[in-house]
Structure 1
Amino acid sequence: LINCNENCYEFVSNQDNGLIYNEVGEFMMQYTQNSSDDCSDVILGCTNTNACNYQENATVNDGSCVYMTTFTYYEYSEWGIPQYDALGNPVMVYGPLQNPDIQCECYNNVYDDSGILYNEAGEEILEYIENSNNECNDLVLGCTNSNACNYQENASLNDGSCEYYTINTYYQVYNEWGIPLYDSQGNPVMEYGPVPNPDIQCENMDISGCTNNDALNYNEEATNDDGSCVLECDVTFENVSTITSLVSIYNVYTVNIILGSTQITSGDLVGVFYLLDGILISGGYVVYDGSNSIEIALVGDDPNTEQIEGFQQGQEIIWIVQQAETEINYLIDVETDAETFTPNTEEVVVLEEVNPTAILGCTDISACNYNEQANLNDGSCKYSEPNFDCNGNCNNDSDMDTVCDETDNCIDDMNPNQIDTDNDGVGDACDYDDGIGIDELESTRPELIKMIDVLGRTQQEHTQGTLLFYLYNNGKVEKRLK
């Protein structure tokens, strides 16, 4: 910048008196309000011949230059002075750098209402200009990053179409000029999210995990099933007994979620869970009180101890609601920016809908509460007591006295009180020798006249598996199942 007449123009600053730059760090300039005729030779404009809007007659660069830029690493300079680290190496930053080898009329940035569009790695998205001329024949827009899954060997300019295998991790935050940001203590500003992982080649990036979408730990990104699918669990709502200093608060909104055929109601349980070695662990719960939002605290695991006390950094949070009236559990899909646990944060979660694929319930057909629609056993199966059905009735009760035949001391005689005076295992209702001597017993024992079936037909013998009525000479009738 050569200032022949400093009264003709001035730096442009913002309301905080900070100087304003264009995308490649050139100062923005403007004419002064009291510029005189002496300024007639001063023409503000773009003086860089590499810019798309180079102005041949401009004498002072006013920062209005528009460049076709590419994102790359470059040596950082301040006030035109190269910067070096403590070891004497150039300070390298990642950001937009003008590319003078590309004709400006060949392509444009892609915009939406918020401005220039970028891909997940922060690379500008570009497109050809429809009326580009023959000078653009050598320009091939495509993915030029060899670490990307769709690397295009013949591409000459990266158009932001690169697709990367990403991992969730902490990364340092840079400003729009590619300069790293630091907090007031001098520590790098870090954020957690997806970043490209150049160490993994796409053709070899088999992602191991559970590929069964019915499983509790289904991983939609997994390409190789590693046998870790959890198709059976024990859903137990428990409060957390161990507290650490790593606690996050979740504000939960229900948005009238439907459980089965009814809306969530007061008394239903809203719980958070996580998987530890394939076992479902309760991370706490709250009782829904009917309000629009409820608050639940998630305790994080202290990485400095061997014991696992709670959610680990980056661990998936599983949301389950139990309907109090039916005791049926529902796996819930949520809408949130915090699907995985991050310690010491406050998050918002919307319980959106019941998961339509993984259906919790009892999958044992012999259980009283068998759910034919369930594909994920949640440990809720309930079984009848021995000799009883699921309604509490005897499976076998010949004399209809509500005492099951298997334990009835008089199977054919109604005796609900099971009185047995002589404690010989035969109830008084059918024990004919109670209080009678042997001689008397022989003289008073009733004589069988005949046996008949349910149709009244006389039978000569009682075959196995049939029901007959025994008629005695004293008028007594016995129903016997052999």
Structure 2
Amino acid sequence: WEQLSNFPGGTRGYAYGVSNEIYAFVGFGSNESGYPNDFWRYDIINNLWEELANFPDIGRNHPAMILVNDKVYMGLGSVDGENLGDWWEYNITQNTWTEKANFEFGDRHHPFYFSLGDYPYVGFGHGNYINNNINIYNDFYKYKPEDNEWIQLNDFPSEARVAGTQFSFNNRGYILSGDGDDHGPLDSGELWEYNPISDQWTQLDSHPGEARWAPGSFVIDCYVYLTSGYEGDTDTYYNDLIRYKLSEECGCTNLNAFNYNINSTIDDGSCCYISGCTNSNSINFNQDACFDDGSCIPIILGCDNILASNYNEFANLNSSFTGPDYMDLGTGSYHYNDLWNMVFDCNEDVTIKSIDLLAETNFNIQIEIIDLNNNQVYLQEFNLITGLNQIELNAEISAGEDYQIGIIGENQGLYRNNNISSDVFPINLLDIIEINSNTTDSPLDYYYYFYNWQLEINCENILGCTDQNACNYNENATDDDGTCQFSGDDCIIPGSIGPDIEYGLWNENCECIFDNSNLNSHIESNKIIRKLDILGRNTNMMNKIIFELNSNGLVEKKLFIE
């Protein structure tokens, strides 16, 4: 997100706007002073606002506003609880407002509306109460600018509705979500498509979760994007962003793209010209690649130090970020209690270096990890800020099952995923951790709070010199192997190996100075202090590759054949 120039017309709610590729036109709504009638143009390219001719009548909430060619049509809506039925045309070229034929089919607010070709379409909405009963419409109309008249179309074939969102695409109109005929949520987030040629409606797939009151939507290429809105059943306000592909004819139509689709007739902007590894759990992940070329090398997390007792010859990283990403798990919202945890298994000893949390505001929280027997193995307090927080846990977890990670304290808003797909669990994190469920009565329906885990495998029992005063001190060594060397001790000249090996002495600055005078004594005094297999285990086996650790610091790889 990038902040642009503030709207100069003052703060308000229920403002409306329409846009083309160059300008957005914004106005109406309400504030503490009433219902403004100012009208503004926003220059999208230059990030500039310009005030236009004021609307010549009263401002309003919840009107219909539709851009058709070089005209903006606006009408209906409500003022102080009274519905309106007027209809107006704003001429963009002339900067003038003209009143048109009234909408004579019942004053209303919060209708559904869209444009197809040269015509605005309007219907549905919240009408005036009849005998104290709520009145929600399911009728539908087309306005003909050339004749300044309204044409009644077929009624909508399902439940009347209000306060959803609408859009048009490829000469089809769409209505999405909203409240039903009792002004309560629809049974689902219904999506309907209108065909102006046949004057018929077709129901498509509902959006995930429950229906929403007053969401927002926009179309880019072949996708509609849905965001925000209010879900009455759970008293939830959303700030997520989900999308839906509107046609199977959409795809890449460019022959030069990696993902060219011969069957596509509508270009959806997906054409890809950079190939590479697109799997983020690969060591060669290319964030710029949009087409996977099969080159991905999976991350194998483990100890890559050959001198450690838990050395893993297949490991290519000992620390890495992994899933899950909150965007990959579907819709979500902020949640406000500390009762529920995520349950996970740990396949080997690991350090959870960090996790991400999304906070709605600034507050303090404790993060707790408990084991199978409800023993607390980790507890730490953190200060959260609004937005994304990368929390440094450094929690050392032993191999085991049924750990739980959760929060303690007043939760003032942490993001969770709602109604996730049934096949999400278990969530595998680099074969080290598996997140299996949550602790609610619906253990597979929600994902709570903890995203983008960073895992680290610590190398154990690393042999080397542990004396910080030694010239060959190894800061990674955990077990001293008796090889520490000091000023005046023998050393091997860096870069000399095999039959060309050269010996020297450590000086007071721990520099290995050439001295070959005692070559024979070096050879005679050198001792093998340990033999290791490729997993770092002590061994004397034959017919296997082993590594000999010498007292002079040399490590030799050998194959003994019996």
**TM-score above 0.5, yes or no:** no
Structure whose residues are more often strand by fraction:
2
What TM-score, normalized to structure 1?
A: 0.27
What TM-score, normalized to structure 2?
A: 0.24
**Looking at CA atoms only, which structure, 1 or 2, has the larger radius of gyration?**
1
